[in-house]
Amino acid sequence: MNAKVKAVLDTILDQFLNGNIPELVALSTYPVSILPMNKWSLLNQLVCYITGLNDFRGYKQWLEVKRYVKKGEKATNILVPWIRKDKDEQTNEEKSFLAGFITASVFAVEQTDGEPLDYQKLELPPFPLMDRAKELGVNVAAIPGSYDHYGYYSQTKKVIALASPEEAVFFHEICHLADDKISGIQAGQDPIQEITAELGALALCQIVGLDGSKHFGNHYRYIESYAQKLELTPYCAVLKVLSRTEKILNFLLKEAEHELCSVPQ
């Protein structure tokens, strides 16, 4: 597998160097779901998104959809208004006023059990390397479509969540997983990590995927956006992460050859 990995990476480098980049192809996504937390303040949403998860609700909100918080789960605290009622001294009418803020405990869907939610009924395609992710102790799940991301890998919750049925998105996230297993990764959108994962995804699309170079233009422009943050050209950026990406690909493919033999070409 090493020779094939090297050959594909060399071909990609050549295309980056020559500027032979296809146009963007729109990525499909699952339907956008309106979650209760979408109505929360931006601050409260950010507090929850920092955890890497995206569906938080209060204890009673989970009961309303017949789901129950697992025993021993730790809550995330958000701020909610503390509304008090008092009588107006002049009119003697009872009025409500903001007395301050208090904290409320919320839990992510991954911290609950019970009836499946509508978006949990979404079915993922049988991606190549899906079993490899599970071997590495990570669950792969579909999530509602999002306006700001196609998927994510959570180190803490050990999940790859996908808002898109495109294999390129899955390959990007499993490269983050492999990178994490090999040497550890930082939380957040680190440019080097993002370029590495996207280069790995581009290579996997051509090595084991069914789409091949279908989204080459998307991969290139994603890498270009993070290369600009490092003040590098896309070509120099992929050169910088080439060795790291090769290790990731070999790590994923070495133990998965038996799985790939059954993937239709």
DSSP string of the chain?
A: -HHHHHHHHHHHHHHHHHT--PPP-PPP-PPB---GGGGS-HHHHHHHHTTT---EEEHHHHHHTTEEEPTTPPPEEEEEEEEEEEE-TTT--EEEEEEEEEEEEEEEGGGEEESPPGGGG------TTHHHHHHTT-EEEE--B-SS-SEEEETTTTEEEES---HHHHHHHHHHHHHHHHH---SS--HHHHHHHHHHHHHHHHHT-SSTTTTHHHHHHHHHHHHHHTT--HHHHHHHHHHHHHHHHHHHHHTTHHHHTTS--
Contact criterion met (CB below 8 Å) for 46 and 56? no
Given a cut of 80, is residue 239 above it in pLDDT?
Answer: yes
pLDDT recorded at residue 1: 54
Angle between helices 2-18 and 234-254 (to 10 degrees): 160
| Range 47-71 average pLDDT | 91
Shortest CA distance to 260 belongs to which of 207, 214, 182? 207
Q: Are 107 and 56 in contact (CB under 8 A)?
A: yes
**Alpha carbon distance, N-terminus to C-terminus of the chain:** 16
1, 262, 256, 30: CA torsion to nearest 10: 110
Q: How much is the CA Rg of the chain, to the nearest whole Å?
A: 22
Name every residue whose Cβ is closer than 8 Å to that of residue 33 and which is 6 or more positions away in sequence.
118, 119, 144, 145
Mean pLDDT of the chain: 87
Mean pLDDT of 127-145: 91
pLDDT given at position 264: 45
pLDDT greater at residue 124 or residue 230: 230
pTM of the model: 0.71
The reported pLDDT for the residue numbered 25 is 65
Instruction: Report the half-sphere exposure of 98 (CA within 13 A, side-chain side).
Output: 5
- 149: Cβ contacts below 8 Å, ≥ 6 apart: 163
Average pLDDT over residues 208-215: 84
Rounded to 5°, the CA angle 155-253-197 comes to 45
Tokens of 8: 């594909």
What average pLDDT does this structure show over 131-149? 86
Which pLDDT does position 261 carry in this prediction?
Answer: 47
